[in-house]
Amino acid sequence: MQTEERSTLPLPDEASGSPASPDAVVVLDYGSQYAQLIARRVREANVYCEVFPFDTGWESVAHLRPKGVILSGGPASVYEPGAPTLPAWVLEQDLPVLGICYGMQLLAQSLGGRVAPATEREYGPATIEVVGSSPIFADLPERLDVWMSHGDRIEELPEGFSALARSDNSPYAAMGRGHVIGLQFHPEVAHTPLGGTILRNFLFDICGCEGNWTAASFIDDAVQRIRARVGKDRVLLALSGGVDSAVTAALIHRAIGDQLTPVFVDTGLLREGEPETVREVFGRHFHMNLVSIDASERFLTRLRGVTDPEQKRKIVGAEFISVFEEAAARHGPFRFLAQGTLYPDVIESATPRDSKTAAKIKTHHNVGGLPEDLQFELLEPVRMLFKDEVRAVGRLLGLPEEIVQRQPFPGPGLAVRILGEVTPERLQPLRRADAIVRQEIEAAGLGNDVWQFFAVLLPVKSTGVMGDQRTYADVCAIRAVTSEDAMTADWARLPHDLLARMSNRIVNEVPGINRVVYDITSKPPGTIEWE
């Protein structure tokens, strides 16, 4: 199997310059859950990229002066009535175009080719054979391991196109005509080991990009955008203490200084020792007027009797806004509410603002969980970034590693790690079990190797034997995953002795739990969080 190294958004010592207008490529989203992974891979090549709905007009992307367009995959069939179409400007602008899966089929259909259901579908690993000459496959072997996910295939190429690759089930696994290229497979996923090289060939050899987008250029651009938008108005920042809101705070503070007021809300749903840690760390490293609010009682009251995870997320989102509105009345006025929203939050919530075709996986409290009558304008400067990109920006902004490498934690907190009703009685054992999981994984030296690790309290009880007595108590699940971007994840292969220590400590130290299980589900089909 071919492999390659993945890079992250580089710091200045890893790349030269911070251009005012870096090279850019546009991705049109046709509904793939992983469309934004294309953007991630493009940005790993130090080329700026934004994702737009498939029906976006040229006037909405022209300001980027894109050097190329990438068409994502999607769940539709191009020959079905109402299927997403190709905007006329994609071809009229005479830009290099790369169609991926549905994007390739759409190019073929739009230019006079024929797409039909395949006799055999291709889902999973496949091997393609390069049969044509194109810069897209420059310096690559003739046979490549790739990832396929399609039920349709191209039966007839459009005029002027030639076959560039084939597989056992796809006579046209890749096609090309000049700077218009189609790939039936997905180069953006990790299961296509040399997919990054293929994308870089498109970016550099076909689009002519220079790779001049860095963490420094992102910061410079973000600061300018914030200043231009905010002007002399004030900003209230929702500060959770995690890396996303911390970087957001640092960016906005660099742009507008004391016009920013960060507000930390103790929801009663935080991890053990977290409120104290947040206040200490940010008091030490941020010279800002931090407002700290204990709202634990009101959050728990609003969640009483609620078991549906979507309802939990929406309640938490609405209550956050209510607290912020009250804070604004006391400390304001504020025109803007700033949040550390990231790309994975956006795509999983699949709001109309961000995707017209993607299916909603779950509502993130800071995206789909916000009320319709929001009294603030949202300011989300890292909305287009992935977690590792945020960390690169944070390091350049001078944030300490204890913040930059902080374990991801959902906005609704432990409310979505308690399956069923959230009560103080259930929060206490979960909080302690979670602390044990974190302590043991970090003590084993795996804290930076595992993307995320935590405990979940299940809505079931099990029979046990403790001290020669029968027990009937709660079940705790341990979840630990590895990931590059949180869009896909695999369960972490933790050492058995580590799992044994965590299990032993939890059942002995946490009253009310008598059984521990380990989650070995990847994403997909699961999600990282249980709710």
Residues annotated catalytic, as ranges: 101, 186, 188
Distance of CA 87 to the CA centre of its chain: 27
Residue 238's alpha-carbon distances to 152, 246, 487, in angstroms, are 45, 10, 24
How far from each other are the two terminal CA atoms of the chain, in whole angstroms? 35
For residue 66, the 8-state DSSP code is -
Helices assigned H by DSSP within 257-371 = 274-285, 296-303, 309-331, 343-349
Cβ–Cβ < 8 Å for 176, 134: yes
Write phi, then psi, for 371 (nearest 5 degrees).
Answer: -70, 155
Residue 505's alpha-carbon distances to 187, 502, 518, in angstroms, are 44, 5, 14
Q: Which uninterrupted H or E stretch holds 49? A: strand 48-53
Three-state helix/strand/coil letters over 386-450: CHHHHHHHHHHCCCCHHHHCCCCCCCCHHHHCECCCCCHHHHHHHHHHHHHHHHHHHHCCCCCCC
- Compute the distance between CA of residue 469 and CA of residue 255 in angstroms, rounded to an integer: 62
